[in-house]
Structure 1
């Protein structure tokens, strides 16, 4: 088969245009089908046609989860992490229209870790001498810029982590002229502190919810204690709400 022979998508069967092919391990994928894959999925080139079909089937089912999703808390500017605290689910969206975007909906229990990674970039400010040549200030002056990246590690069939940036533009900090470089100049900026706090809140929310689910599972699996009901005198194992299985009285009242 020649380099410029016509290719067809092994998923939808449509002809693939010039530069529109997305190579699979054992076939071809058109750009329209590729857009339907999870944005966190990065193993396309090492995936088979059957694996891609399986993921696209999952992505169709995910639309139902998006429709049933109700945001109770949200964080972020460039990306938006939304929590549905009633259903114990979350998603990360890139737009305000989650129905058309179809972001992956995950359970809190799928979270295995969460970190805030702050990238610092330093550049020196220069001035010019009388001949127009760039020279350093004395003492040197620096501009600092920061990006705040969240990494959510997950147990998911199609991806292992969700990495995204909280800030929509660089957070810039200019220490006052004549001051020595500070250990953490970003702390001088209210915007820096805002995103730092936002990252901490996201981490706390996800990890606390994950721990609560683990605690609930452990409690459900623990042996049930047999007690004497103070209302009917029966020897009973209280139900999930702490009531007698015979008379319905509150055993722990």
Structure 2
């Protein structure tokens, strides 16, 4: 058989066109049957027709979940991450699945690894294409601007380079959830500009091992600064999902937030932050908190019950031997 011979669809038996077909490990799907697959699923070249049938059964069963989904909060630009705290579900408000009313619903316990990718441009700007980077070209608008001035201007415009992006990431306290893609220094030896921010969300469902959210997630026209802020907000929400929190109980306490009386941190579903001060009458253990540097318990509560410091032993008046009880263990003298 030649390279351009027609293929038969393993599902419907119709012709699988060369430019529209989906290749499987043991066959092909035609363009129409290919559209039955979830548009957020992946890895089909390594899957079989048996996997396709299983996947389609899951998609059919998902329709009921999708109809029952109650959006309690939506995260990111356009609310692209939707969370149902009542059921413990989440889904993505993007793509064909959502438009057709059958966005794949994931349980909180199906959340896998997640992180944000910051992509950098390897090439310096050269507005007149003369081979001289704008920073070193007397004919460019950027000439003679020092790095701090340029960085400040970029941040005001919402455009970031590696320096300003790193400042944002460090200030967020979530550095472990951000990854750099590409060199942070461009070909002119200057801080590379940010070209995109991608949110990557993994699940334990084998047909959806990884969902990558780029411009469709952050929306058109968003600045780099806004995209990083959306990524930060999304990461915080996913951290709450991973902890099994839901609704109002799923808050992460921020610096300066004080829990209400009679209610512990664990009861409120919060994580204590540096500088947070518990209220009176509540112990650290009662609040479910881990003490942070600089946290000082108030009166009436302690970090944990402390064992009493043993008293120094007395000396026997007869033989000067150390005595801890009512009688001297050396000579038997009774202490008054």
TM-score (norm. length: structure 2): 0.49
**How far off its partner does 1:18 sit?**
4.7
> Are 1:207 and 2:208 matched, yes or no?
no
Instruction: Extract unaligned runs of 5+ from structure 1.
Output: 172-190, 214-253
> Are 1:110 and 2:161 matched, yes or no?
no
Larger radius of gyration: 2
For residues 96 and 209 of structure 2, what CA distance do their matches in structure 1 show?
A: 24
**Would you say the 8 A contact 1:8–1:14 is kept in 2?**
yes
Alpha carbons of 1:163 and 1:79: their partners in 2 closer, same or farther (altered >3 Å)?
farther
What's the counterpart of residue 207 of structure 2? 158
What's the counterpart of residue 167 of structure 1? 218
TM-score (norm. length: structure 1): 0.63
Deviating 4+ runs (over 6 angstroms): none
**Would you say the 8 A contact 1:67–1:99 is kept in 2?**
no
CA RMSD of aligned residues (A): 3.1
Instruction: Extract unaligned runs of 5+ from structure 2.
Output: 143-189, 246-336
What's the counterpart of residue 89 of structure 2? 89
For residues 11 and 204 of structure 1, what CA distance do their matches in structure 2 show?
A: 42
**Would you say the 8 A contact 2:111–2:202 is kept in 1?**
yes
**How far off its partner does 1:68 sit?**
1.4
What's the counterpart of residue 265 of structure 2? none
3-state SS of paired residue (2:51) = helix
**How far off its partner does 1:156 sit?**
0.9
Alpha carbons of 1:78 and 1:86: their partners in 2 closer, same or farther (altered >3 Å)?
closer
3-state SS of paired residue (2:193) = strand
**How far off its partner does 1:14 sit?**
2.6
**Would you say the 8 A contact 2:16–2:30 is kept in 1?**
yes
For residues 169 and 119 of structure 1, what CA distance do their matches in structure 2 show?
A: 17
**Would you say the 8 A contact 1:9–1:30 is kept in 2?**
yes
3-state SS of paired residue (1:61) = helix
Aligned residues: 191
What's the counterpart of residue 26 of structure 2? 26
Point out the structure with the larger strand share: 1
1:4-60 superposed Cα distances (whole Å, 9 cap, x missing partner): 554321112333345333222222211211122122332211211111111111111
**Would you say the 8 A contact 1:119–1:147 is kept in 2?**
yes
For residues 115 and 134 of structure 1, what CA distance do their matches in structure 2 show?
A: 36
Alpha carbons of 1:167 and 1:20: their partners in 2 closer, same or farther (altered >3 Å)?
closer
